[in-house]
């Protein structure tokens, strides 16, 4: 006879405790423990050894099945996945509330022609889904829709419908009868994902799970959720801006360095095939405090506009604010300007913004950041046909960056007349680019050239 046991599980990190705790000792979050009932089966005390039908084999004896990826109607989605959806894979799509996860999933489902798709919604009714589809101007499709929250019913309907793609919106609303806890708890999310994983691998069906985000920005549920799935996609962006970025944090079938860029419109998400032209303001005159950086996100190069504002501190303590750029790195670059270049900014407020609401982590934007700050400080504009690519070290040197040829080619394609690159970047033919390439090794050289 099975014995029932009560344990407490942290909804944030999945840590377990035999008693309720106000604060989790693992993730240091308050009031995250929930009660779960588990059954402990009595053991006979004897170890049973049975040989299953699967036998270990060598690597050369493993037969590779030719699996053709499912190409969706959204090319940016295909790019992030590495060429399309792999049949039998489990994809987790997460993002902030209202960022457009359900819109992207619905466009994905309605855009696949000739494929049988089952869309499970645990958050919306069928009437709400139809209203959203009419707003997207997509009403005719062979996609099947079902509003259901029971895992057992979902698997039964999936076995009967035999879809090629199964979309679950969202995994936090699905529950199974095997666990006596509320939907969205750690145990429910773990068991439901495990059941869908078995179904996907057994029936060779691709499954897309939509997941919620915690207040810290991480995927809600236990961390094992990200380990169980094949691909983890992060849909991010500021709701005050129109641009959305789809990043791949984990991908067993492709690169994790790729990203897709979308524009949120009234009729849904639109792909941005050339982000450089969208992210740079179309101004005919030069304005102080702006600089163009040649950056690379994933394998795609594009140009972004960096805006800086330096003013006298109105209060005793100067402010340091950054939007879309790491604040700690901004403070480091300001220290480099003071120590190595001799610019006194200790009594100045410094505000930095990446135009378009993007979040950039490429260190090659350092050179453009310090140039925009200095431009605003001395109120001298930088020519809008000049761009920068270079990492700034603590000693004031301009360090080499990767894929310099792609950055130069993107700047030349958009009609820029000059680009500043590190002198340590060698091994490329500068004559094949229709742009003036200036190699610099110190930050002082850049300042003397631009603001002479």
216-269 per-position pLDDT tens digit = 777 777 778 888 999 999 998 876 778 888 989 899 988 887 888 898 888 889
Q: 259 lies in which domain range?
A: 69-273
Compute the distance between CA of residue 447 and CA of residue 341 in angstroms, rounded to an integer.
9
Query: Does one domain contain both 356 and 395?
Result: yes
pLDDT digits (tens, 9 = 90+) for 116-137: 999 999 999 999 999 999 988 8
pLDDT at 328 over 90: yes
99 a known binding residue?
yes
Pair 101, 115 in one domain = yes
Asked whether residue 407 is domain-assigned, the answer is yes
- What confidence score (pLDDT) does residue 416 get? 92
Enumerate residues 6+ apart whose C-beta is below 8 A from 199: 155, 158, 166, 205, 207
- Which of 178, 168, 177 minimizes the C-alpha distance to 148? 168
Q: Are residues 256 and 347 in the same domain?
A: no
How many domains does the chain contain in total? 3
141 and 186 both lie in a single domain: yes
pLDDT at residue 76 greater than cutoff 80: yes
- Are residues 432 and 361 located together in one domain of the fold? yes
pLDDT of residue 150: 94
Distance CA 451, CA 441 (A): 17
Taking every pair of Cα atoms in the chain, the longest distance, rounded to a whole number of angstroms, is 86
For 11, what's the count of Cα atoms within 13 Å in the CB-facing half-sphere?
A: 20
pLDDT in tens, 337-391: 998 888 888 889 999 999 877 888 899 999 999 999 999 999 999 998 999 999 9
Same domain flag for 128 and 254: yes
Is 97 assigned a ligand-binding role in the annotation?
yes
User: What is the reported pLDDT for 43?
Assistant: 52
414 is a domain residue? yes
Q: Is 357 inside any structural domain?
A: yes
Q: Quick check: is 202 in a domain?
A: yes
Domain boundary among 225, 249, 273: 273
Q: Does one domain contain both 267 and 377?
A: no
pLDDT tens readout for residues 164-176: 999 999 899 999 9
CA distance 29 to 228: 24
| Residues 34, 104 share a domain | no
Whether 60 maps to a domain, the answer reads no
- Regarding whether 423 and 297 lie in a shared domain, the answer is yes
The verdict on residue 56 lying in a domain is: no
Question: Per the annotation, does 101 bind a ligand?
Answer: yes
C-alpha torsion angle, residues 196, 197, 198, 204 (rounded to 10): 100
Report whether 102 belongs to an annotated binding site: yes
Domain end call among 240, 273, 306: 273
pLDDT class of 182 with cuts at 50, 70, 90: confident
pLDDT of 93 reads 94
Claim to verify: residue 121 and residue 153 sit in the same structural domain:
yes
Lowest mean pLDDT among 45-49, 125-129, 195-199, 268-272: 45-49
Query: Which residue, of 226, 254, 273, is where some domain finishes?
Result: 273
Asked whether the predicted pLDDT for residue 192 surpasses 70, the reply is: yes
Same domain, 235 and 296: no
Per the rule left: phi > 0, alpha: psi between -120 and 50, beta: everything else, 381 is beta
The answer to whether the beta carbons of residues 124 and 135 sit under 8 Å apart is no
Q: Which helix (H) or strand (E) holds 265?
A: strand 259-265
pLDDT of residue 50: 62
379-401 tens-digit pLDDT: 999 998 999 999 999 999 999 99
> Helix or strand or coil: residue 9?
strand
- Average of per-residue pLDDT across 53-81: 84
pTM: 0.77
Q: What is the pLDDT of residue 282?
A: 65
The mean pLDDT of the chain is: 87
Residues 331 and 242 in one domain: no
* Cβ-proximal residues to 415 (8 Å cutoff; 6+ apart), any chain: 385
Residue 327 within a domain: yes
Q: Residue 314 belongs to a domain with what CATH number?
A: 3.30.230.10
Question: Where is average pLDDT lowest: 43-47, 154-158, 210-214, 436-440?
Answer: 43-47
Which pairing describes strands 386-388 and 300-312: parallel, antiparallel, or unpaired? unpaired
């Amino acid at each position: 006879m099975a014995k029932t046991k009560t344990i407490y599980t942290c909804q944030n990190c999945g840590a377990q405790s035999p008693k309720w705790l106000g604060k989790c000792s693992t993730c240091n979050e308050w009031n995250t423990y929930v009660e779960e009932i588990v059954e402990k089966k009595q053991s006979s005390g004897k170890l049973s050894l049975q040989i299953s039908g699967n036998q270990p084999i060598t690597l050369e004896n493993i037969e590779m099945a030719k699996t053709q990826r499912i190409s969706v109607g959204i090319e940016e989605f295909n790019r992030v996945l590495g060429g399309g959806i792999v049949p039998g894979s489990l994809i987790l799509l997460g993002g902030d509330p209202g960022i457009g996860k359900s819109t992207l999933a619905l466009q994905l489902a309605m855009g696949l022609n000739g494929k049988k798709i089952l869309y499970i919604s645990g958050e919306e009714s069928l009437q709400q889904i139809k209203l959203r589809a009419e707003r997207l101007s997509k009403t005719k499709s062979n996609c099947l829709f079902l509003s259901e929250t029971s895992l057992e019913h979902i698997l039964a309907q999936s076995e009967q419908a035999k879809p090629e793609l199964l979309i679950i919106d969202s995994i936090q609303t699905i529950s199974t009868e095997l666990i006596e806890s509320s939907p969205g708890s750690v145990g429910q999310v773990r068991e439901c994902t495990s059941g869908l994983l078995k179904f996907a691998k057994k029936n060779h069906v691709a499954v897309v799970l939509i997941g919620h985000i915690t207040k810290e920005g991480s995927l809600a549920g236990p961390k094992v959720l990200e380990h169980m799935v094949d691909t983890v996609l992060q849909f991010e962006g500021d709701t005050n801006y129109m641009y959305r970025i789809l990043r791949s944090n984990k991908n067993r079938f492709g690169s994790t360095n790729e990203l897709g860029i979308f524009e949120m419109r009234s009729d849904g998400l639109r792909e941005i095939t050339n982000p450089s032209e969208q992210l740079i303001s179309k101004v005919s005159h030069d304005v102080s405090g702006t600089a163009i950086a040649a950056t690379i996100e994933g394998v795609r190069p594009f140009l972004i506009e960096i805006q800086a504002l330096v003013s006298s501190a109105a209060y005793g303590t100067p402010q340091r604010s950054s939007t879309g750029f790491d604040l700690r790195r901004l403070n480091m670059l300001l220290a480099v300007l003071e120590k190595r270049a001799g610019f006194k900014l200790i009594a100045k407020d410094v505000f930095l913004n990446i135009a378009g609401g993007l979040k950039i982590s490429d260190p090659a934007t350092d050179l453009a950041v310090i140039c925009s700050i200095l431009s605003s400080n001395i109120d001298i504009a930088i020519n809008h046909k000049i761009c920068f690519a270079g990492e700034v070290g603590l000693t004031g040197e301009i360090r080499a960056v990767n894929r310099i040829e792609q950055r130069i080619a993107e700047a030349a394609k958009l009609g820029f007349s000059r680009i500043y690159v590190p002198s340590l970047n060698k091994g490329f033919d500068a004559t094949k680019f229709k742009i003036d390439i200036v190699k610099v090794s110190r930050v002082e050289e850049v300042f003397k050239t631009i603001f002479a």
